[in-house]
Amino acid sequence: MKPCDPVAIIGVGNMGGGMARRLLSLGWPVRVCDIDHAKTDLLESIGALALANPLQAAIGSEVIIVVVVDAVQTEQVLFGQDGAASGLRPGQTVLLCPTLAPDDVERLGQRLQSLRVNVLDAPMSGGPQRALEGSMSLLLAGEAVVLAQHQALLEALASQRFVISERLGDAARTKLVNNLAAGINLVGAAEVLALAQKMGLDLTRTLDVMAQSSGQSWIGSDRMRRAIAGDYAPRAHMTLLQKDTRLALEAAQAVGFVGPLGAAARDVFAQASAGGLAGQDDAALFKWLSAGLGSPD
Comparing CA positions, the residue from 38, 43, 33, 39 lying closest to residue 9 is 33
- DSSP for 166-232 reads SSTTHHHHHHHHHHHHHHHHHHHHHHHHHHHHHTT--HHHHHHHHHTSTT--HHHHHHHHHHHTT--
Nearest to 87 by CA among 122, 123, 51: 51
CA 151 to chain centre: 20
Neighbours of 147 (CB within 10 A): 19
2 catalytic, yes or no? no
Helices 262-272 and 170-198 cross at an angle (nearest 10°) of 70
Contacting residues for 148 by C-beta, under 8 A, at least 6 apart: none
Rounded distance, CA 146 to CA 72, Å? 26
Q: Which of 175, 198, 243, 287 is catalytic?
A: 175
List active site positions.
175
